[in-house]
Amino acid sequence: MAVNVMTTKDVMKKVLNKDELFILDVRNESDFNDWKIEGKNFEYLNVPYFELLDGVEDIIGKIPTNKEVLVVCAKEGSSVMVAEMLSDTGLNVSYLKGGMKEWSEHLEPVKIGDLNDGGEIYQFVRVGKGCLSYMVLSEGEAAIIDSTRMASIYLDFVESKNAKITHVFDTHLHADHISGGRTIAENTGATYWLPPKDATEVTFAYQPLEDGNDITIGNTTINIAALYSPGHTIGSTSFIVDKKYLLSGDILFIDSIGRPDLAGMAEDWVGDLRETLYQRYKELSEELMVLPAHFMIIDELNEDGSVAENLGRLFKENHGLNIDNEEEFRKLVTENLPPQPNAYQEIRKTNMGKISPDLENQREMEIGPNRCAVR
C-alpha cells in the first residue's frame, strides 16, 4: 500500500475540528514526553525509531485499524521509513511532512474580529510552539505585533489583503522564540518598535515604545499610553487596540500568568508583575478582550481556533489573578516555575542582534514547548 503524506495544515485542521487521530511518535522518549502534537481526541504511542530497525511486528497489535494513523519524528526521515514498514504489513498510515520541525513552524491565521472603522485584527496561532502573534489591518495599512521568525507568512498574508506593513511591534524582548520583527521591518520599510528598557543591549536602530505613544494604522489607533506593564521583563508593554482588544504580551495568559525569571530577575521583578496584574490591569475595562502572546495547552483554544478571553472573566477564573496574599503570590512565581525555554539565552542574544545564527541553528534553538508561564 502507498504511504500517505499529511501536512502540518492537515494536522491543524484535525486539531481545530477535534478529529480522532492516532499518532505513532518515533522520537526518543524524553523528546516525546517534553513536547508532542496536542489534540483533544488524539491518541499516542511512543516507540523510538531505533527499536523498530529490525521491523514493526512488535507494535502492529497496538496500532488501530479503525482510525487515521500518523507517524511522526523530528525531521521526517525516520517517520517515512517506519510508515513504509507499516504500510508493507497492510496498514493504511501517513507520515508528517517535515516532522516536528515543520509542526513547530506552522502558523494558522485566525480572524479575531472587525474594528470599529471597518478594519480587521488577525491572530496567527503557532500551535506547535504556543506562540501567538497579531496583525491589525486598516485602510490598506498593517501593523504586526510579536511576530515569529517566519516572516514570509506575514508578508504573503498582508499581500493577499492588498495592504502594506507600516509598523512592527514587540511587546517585550522574547526569550522563547526568535522575533521576526527586525526582518519584517527591513523588508518593508516599516517602523520597528521596542520597549527601551528591554532594548538597552540591542545592536540595531529601533523606535522606543514609551507611554504616550499613539500609533495610527489606517483609521485605527493603537493606544500605548499608561500600559507600561513590567513583570515578565522590565520593559513589557501592553497595547489596547480600538478600545476593544488588550494585547497582553507575556504578562497575562488565558490560564496562567507570565514568569519573571528569564533574565535572572525573578526576585526583583515579582513586585512589578503583581503591580501590573493587580493594579494596572484592574484599572482597565473588564470588557476588553485579552489577546496574549502565548498559550500553554490546547484547551485554551476556542472553537474557532483563536486564543482570547474577556478580561473580566480572567479576573474571576485565572488563578494567577486571585492570590490575595502577596507572599503566596511571590512564592508561586519564583518557586513554581517550569524548566526554562530551550536555548533562551541564545534566543535573547539573537533578538538583541548580538549573534546571527543560521536558519538550522535558529530551528534547533526554538525546538520544544512554550515555557513562558507560571504553572
Residues noted as catalytic: 73
Amino acid at residue number 189:
G
Name 81's Cβ contacts closer than 8 Å, sequence gap at least 6.
49
Strands 191-194 and 141-145: unpaired
CB 129 within 8 A of CB 362: no
- Edge-to-edge strands, sheet with 69-72: 4-6, 93-96, 69-72, 21-25, 42-46
For cell 489577546, the residue is 291
What gap in Å lies between CA 149 and CA 160, rounded to an integer? Answer: 19
Strands 289-292 and 108-114: unpaired
Helices (H), the chain: 8-17, 29-34, 77-88, 99-105, 151-160, 181-188, 266-275, 311-317, 326-335, 344-352, 359-366
What gap in Å lies between CA 231 and CA 3, rounded to an integer? Answer: 49
Amino acid at residue number 205:
A
Helix H or strand E encompassing 283: none
CB 351 within 8 A of CB 148: no
Burial 269-288 (b: 16+ CB within 10 A, else e): bbebbbebbbebbeebeeeb
What gap in Å lies between CA 41 and CA 95, rounded to an integer? Answer: 18
In the three-class reduction of DSSP (H, G, I as helix; E, B as strand; rest coil), residue 13 is classed as: helix
Name 87's Cβ contacts closer than 8 Å, sequence gap at least 6.
1, 2, 3, 93
Geometric angle at alpha carbon 247, from 171 and 111, rounded to 5°? 120
CB 241 within 8 A of CB 214: no
